[in-house]
Structure 1
Amino acid sequence: MARIETPKRIRGTQDIFGDEQRRFATVLEKFDWVRRLYCFQRVEIPVFEATGVFARSMGETSDVVSKEMYTFEDRGGDSITLRPEFTAGIARAFITEGWQQHAPMKLVTSGAVFRYERPQKGRFRQFHQIDAEIIGAAEPAADVELLVLADQLLHELGIAEGVTLQLNTLGDAETRDAWRTALVAHFEKHREELSEDSQTRLEKNPLRILDSKDPRDRPIADSAPGIDAFLTEEAGAFFKAVTDGLDAAGVAWTRNARLVRGLDYYRHTAFEFVTDRLGAQGTVLAGGRYDGLIGSLGGPETPGVGWAAGVERLAMLIDEPVTEQQDVIIAIEDDRAIGTGFRALKLLRENGLSADMIATGSPKKRYDKAAKILATTLVAIGVRDDKIVVNTRAAKASDAHVRVEEVLRGLATA
């Protein structure tokens, strides 16, 4: 008989269970709670899109597009890509679904995203993100709203300590063009000293040299001209409105003048929430304003700002997972009472109480098994003198059994 080979999990993927799953679920639950507080609508978008959506929005020369996307040709001959992020898909939907009539829109989404990258701590080839966007609002108040939402989420998760909001401005189009020209001139003087990747970036995406991690690039990037010398009055006023809004909301921030976004459609605010608790890859939430994105995809010129965060990376920062405690555990002490147990389960669940039942194994040991399960109330159902007997016991001197007794009243004589 041929031996059946044991299946293996693909490298760079993950199975989430136990404490990890509880941390993961906590992130999503808190995110949904906070988005409701801020009146953001939830949206669902496809897992895959036409490849051009990401190539045009993220840049043909970006690492994500050139090295990390899962792109393939489907049976119809179309090139499709598993989403590496959410913003491009939301922008595409804004155009194709006629959402302009609803602008400004405050949207959130979450789910799996896919990138072919070297697996490391907190990074997987299939991972999960939460995402928040405001589309159609050009005012700095939208940037403030998103940043305050992110800050509150981190506090709700209990992980805000040790996480720093780094903030920068990329200015308006006039600012960016002048700064880009100065940067190109600076880097051209040192072309031969730059890494191979940065020499390529110099031709197509020079701003990205500023955040290069290559030690050959750092001295050159650190001596490059800063953006403040090129800020227009309007761009400076926009950034001040954002920082004033954060100060008024009590959100701490620090300026990082080297924080950039390489693509031309990015404008004004760029930000990252960073920590030293996850090693070298310390960003836990990042985003910025992308006023030129929807126009670059062929839609009407529409301002936008947003951020994304990795669920796994946020979950790793949660010290203690939330322990799930069910409301009721039922022990069937006599097999003749199993039918009553099923009726009890239905009644409890219909009344909003989580409940489970132990009805297998030795009847004499079922109560002891039930007593070891983390539940607010233990219900024992047995038979005495040919009659169904129902007893409840509440854990930790709780009076929760009163409600359980009300729900199950009459069950013993049913």
Structure 2
Amino acid sequence: MAAPTVRPAVRLSARFESTFAYKTIKDRLPVILTKVIDHLSRRADQIESVYGSESREEVKQTIGRLSKLRNELQTNKDYISIEDSYSDSVIWNEQIPREESPRWFEGSWLFAECYFYRRIFEAFQLAKHLERYDYFSEQKQAALTNSMTAIHALTESVETTKIDVETLWTVSLWGNKCDLSLSNGQDNSQEEDPILQLQKYDCRILHNDIKLVAELVRSKNNLKLAVILDNAGFELVTDLILLDHLTSYGHASEIRLYVKMMPWFVSDALTHDVLYVIDTLEASKVPSTAALGRRCKGYLDSKQWTVHERSYWTLPYDYSEMKEVDPKLYDELSGADLLVFKGDLNYRKLVGDRAWKVDIDFQQSLLGFRPSPLVTLRTIKADTVTGLEVGVAEKAASSDPNWMITGEFAVVQYVP
């Protein structure tokens, strides 16, 4: 039965100084941008050795564009048009004038943050030799390397212990804690076997449909899954472990992995991140880790798993607009038996990044987006959440007043 129509809540915005949106625009984004500038300064010689002598001058010009962006952000300038010729620039330039308040601290937080990362990408697109340069790659790879001890412990636990699928869904959920955009690019790698930590986190899952999802998957074979990925690094490994289980036990015959088309929110997975993580696993001297890497590579080689880039994931639209803006992608998702949305940004886009009352029905907050059955696995890092039972939010707030922005609480919400 279709959910009743609801009036959308207001969009989150940095104009409210008490919000995490304001803190993000004022403090977090300038730090992330400064780290990109510092990275370019430190790696200028290395970049020149790879991209040629002309790239040194381009690095200087790119730093100049990024410094200008930082000034625009910090002084609350009007948004300006995207100047590169990348495939989505026309869409962005059509959308910017439609924003009700097209300035950093005054309009939609979702738009501002997406525009921020698109403008960083633009700075590199305008440099002839740096168009394909992933300026967040070093941070993502370091986060993976620093998490290898935990990854080895996890793969060994999975190989030697009969771990149920509910546990693997839960591990994938908490893998989402490792988010470099939340930590402003600071290392937040996983050091312990997450399975040993799950029990203490159970009470922090504020809505938990894992049993429903696990039962759905366990009761069927040859499902077609579409997984809209979030972070590379440790989180991606937890996702691969879950998907390996579903594939090897015959529950999933086809898995489409959706990744971003450009560097996004610092640690979001790109195609080359997926391949890098799998190669790193396969090259491990720990047998259980290497075996996982080999199996994942085999799934890709056999086309049981495929990796897909779509522009919609890096546009400023929420998902309720997908059917109109990108009907081809909506139809594509409609062909899946289950959609798995990982992480905080996907959740924000599912619910329109709005200041909903926390106890409004989750399905209602999707505002009509329902191409297929879906589940969202999200550790909460932004001040919007729906579908909580009465009193749950108050209990979380009593234990931590900042519960909505720390990543220490989570939701797993399923819409059949």
Please, what TM-score do these two structures have when normalized by structure 1?
Answer: 0.24
Computing the radius of gyration from Cα coordinates, the structure with the larger value is: 1
Q: Which has the higher helix share?
A: 2
Please, what TM-score do these two structures have when normalized by structure 2?
Answer: 0.24
Q: Which has the higher strand share?
A: 1
